[in-house]
Structure 1
């Protein structure tokens, strides 16, 4: 299987999610190393195993995977001849005991989980070894009853400690000694019992100085009365360490003798652990077992991408009536997500993971899946983006054949559109000729037309919400999606004249290539006046008054000779032949702009709006102005 696809479609993230559900490093390492299977039988078994694991989990039962967290490390220690500590032996005993508990669980559920039950038939019962370990070790400490010698040694240790305690307490109770003590405490220093003595009395106490405080105010003295007993105690503790080591070595040896069988059982439990990791993850994404085939057939029924938040379900079929699918549509419309979803759910299925789908989903088990997606630019090799894609596709072409899926994002992009489209079509034809299934995304009209005309190609478009300028991320089979370039440009207030011209260019490819003369605004030539006279001015056009060289806004036409221009906050009548057009209103203002607002003051504009909404204050002001005008006339 081509591993380059793993990062491109985030399959490695799926593996990381599976590892979160595993306990042992054995299982995590195996998940890392394991590849999706290209065998239909193996994939079918993995899916059945995962489905059985989900059955157990859904019933509220839990598989007793015990002692797994450090089992690899402990096994390596045993294999190296090292002796396990008491707590480590208990961990290993838990692991060995889990074999019997796991076997009992699946024996009870053998009719619901026959495959998993067959695994546990091979698990050996190591209860005898586990029982000996539990008997010898209690509370992470070797039990004194484990051997007569250990019992004798610990009994002697207890007697010596009692004797030392009594003697030291008697020493501290002595009135002559009390004033010399820093505290009435018995402290262990360098494996010997001592008492804390003030530094100034160190010469007045019979005994050996064992240690001194960090500040130098206290010395820790072993009184002569307990020296002999401390010596005996040290020897007995050394004997205890030796005896405990012998017992730990014996218990470790019990495990080591069965290591070959244990290793086999460990492989079985590791496989069960991986199966339940798949089951737990499958449950977390509401996965269900799809149908599978080795007949190059992909049928997706409302399949969702497991790593997206609120993903749009994907419905798609390929390999039934057509062997190639060309997806078109606007940028950011979800075309790339379609490619990634198809690849990801295919690999997940081939890995034994249940995917989120509806009944009727049928996943092909491929020998290889290739994808060409994203920026393939290589700084090390100084390759352009297009060259990087071509290098990748060159490698793909050498490997494609039957039972191969190829996913191509924006095929042929990154170069001259005509050459890119031709090359993209030729590449897909070659992949098709070799027997692979192909899904490609494109903006090129030539590739759309090719797909529509090819007997074994089909098209699909991405749904687009034209009212809100947003993609729906939904695949529409049998349609061709538009890039919506003109529509988006119109929504973004591109000048209507530009859009009209672009539409005309798209239809006939006849471009205006004539040279245009540009005239100075400050020195208007005679011929410019003549051109202006033939132009029909519109409200809002920016014009130049040839006589005064002032700039104004055209308001309206009075007759075929004169028009009104708003200049210096004043409306004046000007002959049309004395005007030069500088910028049209279409160029200056967006579609739907209120041009009347350009020719009235803010106060007048506010008054008009207030009158329109029936404001009493505005009406009173208007009445007052009318009365004032009547008075002025009279």
Structure 2
């Protein structure tokens, strides 16, 4: 099953990945496909259930050193030698395997499936003990090797001899930039002021960036420096040999290590799923093969505390549902909740619900949600929807679910409704389950009349008509277009006329006679007529603005600095025509509102509770 992008399941995956410890586990989960079989889906659900049980009991799997274990293993395979800090981390990773195996054996009754994974974990005690003996505090322990111990003591003695020799030089402080010996290019030197460099016999090893200091190696310490360099080179060679030996011990066991690495990555992912389910207060749900979708007070997992629980049943008495009601009422959220719950079930994740939810194992999940307009492909919103639905119809099959938002919208209403009914009938006859949302009365009536369709509506407050985002099954919702238009400040007389026209169909058809324009108006004085959206220079100061419309007395309205200003037409000069600035069909009206109003209207259109509360508050203040 392919999960549509509109379901927003990727946002769930991002949250789960944050809880995965290892890079290998993150990559594994990123590439995890929806379950290909019912058996796999059930197994994933049971694994997560066991992880949640262990977490609820306050038990933690002793994962150690697994964060970069895969990348370190790849280094070993390519022949690289691990550094001390990498060996310490890898030792923790190897040490964790028998501990994790013991952990699951101890709690076998709580997690029998997960205990089965731990059977492939081997014991690498010989390697881990060797690493512990050889490396302490992220460095190779000198006591780990007889030759290393000898050469370290030799280095200590040479450095002690160097300090003795340097003491007599350091007493001559007036010649020195700093009263200490400094190592430059692996040789100990004196930091001498440049004007006193001739006071010392020796070699200049380096000069400071500003030239004020020269670093001189006195003749009397040159031989000691030579001995020190040779000793340190020998020490480096011995340490490299120790690191190579430890890395080689790991390389010999790579086949068994790979088994353990694969096992721990899977367990890492499973426990991350369990933590996610615990964090959203998720409860296990049932997977069925009877094409029955039952949502028992399910909360949308991405909306947090704001989510309104959803009750829904499909596939038992009826196979299709048509949800009606106005925009911003929560219809789209219902579709996305259904899609997410189905997608999560395929990955062994369960939502917050009351415990009696049951999801069918679908082979296909299809959605048509949102604005499908594409300027690049010259597709209108309606064309985009039709292209998407055509693909859905081509792949539609039994044992699938189809979710269609505002079906048939974006074109002539009668044609759109007829086309929508034909599409829904085709999907129904293919055997798929269907949930669609609509405003159209014909589609509502079709759902009422069809014996295998049920209707549902989004709940609204009967007093204020504010949305409650709750689904009411077996009801038909109203679009509430007149109420919304009035709240969006369409003049009340216009709304009243619209209500009259709806019932009487007596539309005003009288021709209006308009008086001719007076001669010598600003229109005739300015043959270059301005249109809404043109960019202009306006006023004596020549401020940039956007032309809105002509007014009386030789004036015009121009949007300047997010305010509408009246400017004399003769003071306006065209800069750029709106046709050059905006694509065809662009909504120019949004240019003439401030950002706060634009955002408020946008929030209303997408169903923001906060925006509706603000709108309701404004209504109370006006009344």
Given the two structures, how large is their TM-score scaled by the length of structure 2?
Answer: 0.79
Q: Deviations over 1:50-75 (max 9, x none)?
A: 12111222222222221122222212
**Pick from 408, 432, 436: which aligns with 1:436?**
432
**Pick from 211, 216, 238: which aligns with 1:221?**
216
Partner of 1:588: none
Q: Secondary structure at the match of 1:356?
A: coil
Q: Is the 8 A contact 1:285 1:355 kept in 2?
A: yes
Q: Secondary structure at the match of 2:120?
A: coil
Call closer, same or farther: CA 1:514–1:158 in 2, change over 3 Å: closer
Mapped partners of 2:391, 2:489: distance in 1: 45
Mapped partners of 1:194, 1:245: distance in 2: 28
Q: Is the 8 A contact 2:2 2:34 kept in 1?
A: no
Please provide the CA RMSD for this pair.
2.1
**Pick from 167, 170, 173: which aligns with 1:172?**
170
Call closer, same or farther: CA 1:497–1:203 in 2, change over 3 Å: closer
Task: Tell me by how many angstroms 1:377 deviates.
Answer: 1.4
Call closer, same or farther: CA 1:204–1:459 in 2, change over 3 Å: same
Partner of 2:420: 424
Call closer, same or farther: CA 1:159–1:461 in 2, change over 3 Å: same
Q: Is the 8 A contact 2:19 2:272 kept in 1?
A: yes
**Pick from 453, 456, 459: which aligns with 1:460?**
456
Mapped partners of 1:268, 1:519: distance in 2: 83
Call closer, same or farther: CA 1:224–1:296 in 2, change over 3 Å: same
Task: Tell me by how many angstroms 1:165 deviates.
Answer: 1.3
**Pick from 293, 296, 299: which aligns with 2:294?**
299
Mapped partners of 2:362, 2:303: distance in 1: 24
**Pick from 373, 378, 382: which aligns with 1:382?**
378
| Count of residue pairs brought into register by the alignment | 515
1:212 aligns with 2:212: no
Mapped partners of 2:374, 2:387: distance in 1: 11
Q: Is the 8 A contact 1:38 1:366 kept in 2?
A: no
Partner of 1:586: none
Q: Deviations over 1:212-252 (max 9, x none)?
A: 23333332222222211110110011111111111111111
Task: Tell me by how many angstroms 1:164 deviates.
Answer: 1.2
Task: Tell me by how many angstroms 1:144 deviates.
Answer: 1.2
Q: Is the 8 A contact 2:20 2:269 kept in 1?
A: yes
**Pick from 339, 344, 348: which aligns with 1:348?**
344
Partner of 1:187: 182
Call closer, same or farther: CA 1:169–1:432 in 2, change over 3 Å: same
Mapped partners of 2:468, 2:36: distance in 1: 34
1:2 aligns with 2:2: yes
**Pick from 17, 24, 27: which aligns with 2:25?**
27
Call closer, same or farther: CA 1:164–1:407 in 2, change over 3 Å: same
Mapped partners of 2:170, 2:484: distance in 1: 95
Instruction: Determine which structure has more spread, i.e. the larger CA radius of gyration.
Output: 1
Task: Tell me by how many angstroms 1:159 deviates.
Answer: 1.3
Mapped partners of 1:493, 1:202: distance in 2: 87
Task: Tell me by how many angstroms 1:505 deviates.
Answer: 4.4
Partner of 1:252: 247
Mapped partners of 2:251, 2:484: distance in 1: 73
Q: Secondary structure at the match of 1:363?
A: strand
Q: Is the 8 A contact 2:501 2:507 kept in 1?
A: no
Task: Tell me by how many angstroms 1:477 deviates.
Answer: 0.5
Q: Gaps spanning 5+ residues in structure 1: where?
A: 521-634
Call closer, same or farther: CA 1:501–1:193 in 2, change over 3 Å: closer
Partner of 2:105: 107
Partner of 2:152: 154
**Pick from 81, 87, 90: which aligns with 1:89?**
87
Mapped partners of 2:242, 2:49: distance in 1: 45
1:487-506 matches, within 5 Å, as 487-488=483-484, 502-503=498-499, 505-506=501-502
1:76 aligns with 2:74: yes
Call closer, same or farther: CA 1:17–1:519 in 2, change over 3 Å: closer
Moved more, 144-153 or 232-241: 144-153
Task: Tell me by how many angstroms 1:326 deviates.
Answer: 0.3
Task: Tell me by how many angstroms 1:192 deviates.
Answer: 1.0
Mapped partners of 2:458, 2:491: distance in 1: 27
Mapped partners of 1:339, 1:404: distance in 2: 14
Q: Is the 8 A contact 2:284 2:355 kept in 1?
A: no
Q: Is the 8 A contact 1:207 1:223 kept in 2?
A: yes
Mapped partners of 1:450, 1:148: distance in 2: 90
Q: Secondary structure at the match of 1:422?
A: helix
Q: Secondary structure at the match of 1:281?
A: helix
Q: Is the 8 A contact 1:469 1:488 kept in 2?
A: no
Task: Tell me by how many angstroms 1:380 deviates.
Answer: 2.1
Partner of 1:263: 258
Task: Tell me by how many angstroms 1:27 deviates.
Answer: 1.0
Mapped partners of 2:449, 2:427: distance in 1: 17
Task: Tell me by how many angstroms 1:451 deviates.
Answer: 0.8
Q: Deviations over 1:1-39 (max 9, x none)?
A: 234x13x12110100001100121111111111122142
Q: Gaps spanning 5+ residues in structure 2: where?
A: 516-623
